[in-house]
Structure 1
Amino acid sequence: MKKNEWQDDSEYMSYVGELIETPEVQRLADFRQHYFSNRLEHSIAVSFDSYRIAKRMHLNARATARAGLLHDLFYYDWRTTKFDNGTHAWIHPRIAVRNAKKITNLSAMERDIIIKHMWGATVAPPRYLEGYIVTMVDKYEATSEVSVPLFNRYEGLLKKHLKFVK
């Protein structure tokens, strides 16, 4: 995704623009997510890319965009905070739904997408195709947020090494 490409998509912004501007969502920028991104950047990337896929597949793009944005609406460092009653993978979607309900009404589909976006690390699969999209895009974005900056950082060393090996 090109930087801030999402801001130029009027349909996408009609679905999530007001949510993005809330203090609760803006606060996500204060939390590092996958080493080279913050939680707000991650959530917008998941939301926008999921929305584009859902739209292309003629699915519920609105619910996909909104749930994608709100899927990680929690305010703690997941690397250091531990829970007695479950893993972060199980707990944080429930916290995200609770926090999202404080700022907007969620449809049944949006709740299911948020709760089950950690499928694979948790056992309950998404009920809707839109949930599978957010789940897979979340994994893709997390991987990209770590691997792309690392590759860019070490690309010169890698090219130099490969040239030496030839």
Structure 2
Amino acid sequence: MGWIWESIYYAIRERKLANRGFLNGPICPIYGCGALLGFLIYDLIQSGHLPNIEWWMIFILGFIISMALEYSTSWTLEKLFKARWWDYSNIPLNINGRTSVPTSVTFGVVAILAEKVLIPLVYRSLSKSSESLLDILAHIFVSIISIDTTLTISSLTNFQKHVASIDEAFQNHMADIVERVYNNQNFFCYKVIERIKVFKLPGRKNRIAKQLREKQFDELIKDYFEHDVIKQMDKYIQHGTTTTLQHCENVAWICYLINRKLNLNADEKELVEAAILHDLFLYDWHDGHPSRKTHGFDHADIACNNAVKHFDISEKQREAIRSHMWPLNITRIPKSKVAIIICLADKYCALIETIRLNKHFGLRN
């Protein structure tokens, strides 16, 4: 609902269609977080853990929570992606353009509507649905959000590549102009152009940069690929035609690129090592054995135990391996940059490997 009203508002204001929000799909997670807090407060009131609150108290809560959510989300997105998805600088009583009193007043009014009308209506609708249907819908929606988040971050990374290619084309075009002027030695600015010419960027700069990135990545993983335990992962298929070892290398590569491209500054060695070991479970989960039915829930802990047994890994790396299946393992929430990057990269690689388009979407295998 938040995505719908905001997209309509901006379409009217800008007189063109607008897909609002951070994600590619029709989802604005910030509204979802606000709604979940609303459900939590409603549940606590209904269970007697909180006293019944008046409409004006709901308004104040909505006002304060919306300010905190908008400011923290805006700051986080700007730090991660060097961009702003909204800016209230032209609205009075704003705080650094991230949030403002007028917009928070609106959210306070919406909070009253949600607590008094919408949330009770949703609960009445859910009570008429079967538990199995609700479970299926929950898994579908979690999968959609996870895939959308992964693809969005991937597209942002590709966007930076497009900017780099545009920059290279511009530099090469300007260099050609300089070259033509430079060849005309009678030109009155010959001396100045001669100095400018030294700044011409080589046409192979992107290819050289890519080669350097791959060489540095190979240096980080080469010792692992000589280990007998790691080689065993190549015996088992993970997704599509991709083996578990190839999958782990793909995840490590995507983690390495995300960390570099988005300037997240996670420790590269810790990140790549944990990614290489994140699926070190050493069995074929497709073999139909009864114990494989819970593979999705169990294999992260199995892989972590194997990694601890054969390698000297840090507590942060252990936590990253154990939490890489979130949100399927709902209680194992990624708590570090390393863990979050691996969790997202794993889902991206799993999707691309399953549809067998590895080379088309930047994977190594």
TM-score by length of 2: 0.37
Distance 1:94 1:6 in 2: 35
Larger displacement relative to structure 2 (13-22 or 29-38):
13-22
1:12 to 194, 209, 217: 217
Which amino acid in structure 2 is aligned with residue 141 of structure 1? Answer: C
Question: How far apart in 1 are the matches of 2:257 and 2:215?
Answer: 12
Indicate the larger mover: 95-104 or 116-125: 95-104
Aligned AA for 2:335? R
Aligned residue for 1:106? 313
What secondary structure sits across from 2:299 in the alignment?
helix
In the alignment, does 2:249 pair up with 1:41?
no
In the comparison of the two structures, how many residue pairs are matched?
146
Shift of the alpha carbon at 1:68? 0.5
1:95 aligns with 2:302: yes
Identify the structure with bigger relative contact order (alpha carbons < 8 Å, sequence gap 6+): 1
Identical aligned residues as a percent: 26
Give the direction of change, closer, same or farther, for the CA distance of 1:98–1:12 in structure 2 (3 Å limit). same
Gaps of 5+ in 1: 153-166
Task: Measure, in 2, the Cα distance between the counterparts of 1:7 and 1:87.
Answer: 41
1:122 aligns with 329
8 A contact 2:251–2:342 mirrored in 1 = yes
Deviations along 1:17-53, whole A, 9 cap, x unmatched? 2112111111111101102211111000001110222
Q: Secondary structure at the match of 1:9?
A: helix
Answer whether contact 1:36 1:149 (CA < 8 A) is retained.
Answer: no
Contact 1:113 1:128 in 2 (8 A): yes
Which residue does the alignment assign to 2:267? 60
The range that moved more, 6-15 or 28-37, is 6-15
Partners of 1:73 and 1:99 within 8 A in 2: yes
Moved over 4 A (4+): 5-8
SS at match of 1:87: helix
Aligned to 1:81: 289
Structure number with larger C-alpha Rg: 2
Classify 1:88/1:48 alpha carbon distance in 2 versus 1 (closer, same or farther; 3 Å).
same
Note the residue ranges of structure 2 that are not aligned, 5 or more in a row: 1-209, 361-365
Q: Please state if 1:135 is matched with 2:337.
A: no
Contact 1:6–1:48 (8 Å) recurs in 2? no
Instruction: Give me the TM-score of the superposition, normalised by structure 1.
Output: 0.78
Q: Secondary structure at the match of 1:102?
A: helix
* 2:279 aligned partner, one-letter code: D
Q: 1:126 to 1:6 in 2, by over 3 A?
A: farther
User: What root-mean-square deviation, in Å, do the aligned CA atoms of Structure 1 and Structure 2 show?
Assistant: 2.5
**Aligned: 1:70 with 2:281:** no
Tell me the distance in 1 between the aligned counterparts of 2:280 and 2:212: 20
1:66-119 C-alpha deviation (Å, 9 max, x unpaired): 1110000012121323339x8212211111111112321010111011000000
Partner of 1:144: 352
**Does the residue aligned with 1:57 lie in a helix, a strand or coil?**
coil
